[in-house]
Amino acid sequence: MGERVIPLSPAQIRSFRRALLSWYDQHRRELPWRRDRDPYRIWVSEIMLQQTRVVAVLDHYARFMQRFPTVQVLSAARENSVLAAWSGLGYYHRARRMHQAAKVIVGERGGVFPRSAKEWLDLPGIGRYTAAAIASIAFDEAVAVVDGNVERVLQRLFGDSTGMEATWQRAEEVLDDERPGDFNQAMMELGATVCMPRAPQCLICPANSFCRTRGVEAAKPQPARKRRDVCYGLARRGDSVLLTQRPPGSSLMAGMWELPSLAPEAVNGHVPLLRVRHSITDTDYRVTVYAIPEESRGSGRGERWFTPKQYERLALTGLARKILSKVAG
Ligand code: SF4
């Protein structure tokens, strides 16, 4: 190993590890993917948790595991069913790549999961963070992880901001080699529940005595969110509703189903059926839904009628699912 890049002595690093792990043992959240070390369950949770908060993942995770309890079931599923189970979580490329990776694991590896981070990296949808997270948590490989939470904790602990490569090196240096999976989860848990972006809870932080900043200059200004107004039409025929499929080449949510969109000028003066708010990545949408006559649509390319039973299992966009749960029950 090269020169150390963290300003703590070896004894201080050992104390830091002990303090953090003991805090984690007492305070960690009981989460469904922490009940055992099944690589399939951990892999699914790690993919869902990318860019998504734990509370938003919990219900989806439970439903997904019920529907696809093993990698064999997932690999044999149709992509549409996987997307349907993912509906509402966003970033659908994650589900597509996970499905592709399941086919590789079952078809080319006889259903045996990779063990090392290096091997995990060969699978679709697996980057440096995810490979290290799965290998350390499921197989105890001594590899560190850096996600947004870990990066922030390390920056605050050491009072400076380094480049990404140096941050990974720092994470490797503080890593506890005997309990790497728990240590990685403890660092992420600390960032998520104590050393939070806006209001770090330094008084109750197990790393307090090792920390250079203790919350000073902790809050970074958040980028302003964008706002957009969008309109959709709801056409009904009996209990069926008309849905339209996004083009396969769309950069966002390709191939998924949604309500037909309407130009705002086309609905001037009409009374809305429903207004909802919806956020996707950095944009907040103000969504207005209008009733449209049954005969006005239905022959367009990619448009079809679906009963509630059918669209429940369809790869709907999260927004379409939200609207339908409010108006077409
Ligand atoms: Fe973060 Fe405060 Fe803990 Fe430092 S003492 S790691 S700033 S919560």
How many angstroms does the Cα of residue 41 sit away from the middle of ligand 1?
A: 31
Active site (catalytic) residues: 46
> pLDDT-derived band of residue 138, with 50, 70 and 90 as boundaries?
very high
Which is more confident, 159 or 71?
71
Cα 102 from Cα 299, distance rounded (Å): 37
- Pocket test of ligand 1: the residue of 6, 158, 205, 210 to mutate, having most ligand atoms within 8 Å of its CB, is 205
Contact 259, 298 (CB under 8 A): no
* Residue 212 CA, closest ligand 1 atom number: 4
Which is more confident, 297 or 276?
276
Residue 20 Cβ contacting ligand 1 at under 6 Å: no
Spatial CB neighbours of 161, under 8 Å, sequence gap ≥ 6: 155
Helix crossing, 79-86 with 93-109: angle to 10°? 130
Is pLDDT at 5 greater than 50 in this prediction? Answer: yes
How many angstroms does the Cα of residue 287 sit away from the middle of ligand 1?
A: 39
pLDDT single digits (tens) 230-253: 999 999 888 899 999 988 888 788
Domain boundaries, the chain: 10-210, 226-327
Contact 107, 123 (CB under 8 A): no
Residue 146 Cβ contacting ligand 1 at under 6 Å: no
pLDDT single digits (tens) 21-70: 999 999 999 999 999 999 999 999 999 998 888 999 999 999 999 999 99
* Residue 200 CA, closest ligand 1 atom number: 8
- Pocket test of ligand 1: the residue of 194, 203, 212 to mutate, having most ligand atoms within 8 Å of its CB, is 194
Cα 280 from Cα 321, distance rounded (Å): 14
- The pLDDT, as a whole number, for residue 1 is 42
Place of tokens 């994650």: 94
> Are domains 10-210 and 226-327 of this chain identical in fold?
no
CA angle 211, 214, 218 (to 5 degrees): 120
Residue 199, phi then psi, degrees to nearest 5: -135, 80
Cα 312 from Cα 206, distance rounded (Å): 45
* Residue 207 CA, closest ligand 1 atom number: 3
- The pLDDT, as a whole number, for residue 271 is 86
Give me the CATH code for the 10-210 domain, please. Answer: 1.10.340.30
Structure tokens at 193: 């529940």
Query: What average pLDDT does range 142-160 have in this prediction?
Result: 93
Contact 161, 143 (CB under 8 A): no
What's the pTM?
Answer: 0.77
How many angstroms does the Cα of residue 160 sit away from the middle of ligand 1?
A: 13
Contact 46, 98 (CB under 8 A): no
Residue 215, phi then psi, degrees to nearest 5: 90, -15
Cα 297 from Cα 306, distance rounded (Å): 13
Protein fold of 226-327 = Nucleoside Triphosphate Pyrophosphohydrolase (3.90.79)
- Mean per-residue pLDDT of the chain: 90
Spatial CB neighbours of 48, under 8 Å, sequence gap ≥ 6: 57, 60, 61, 64, 89, 94
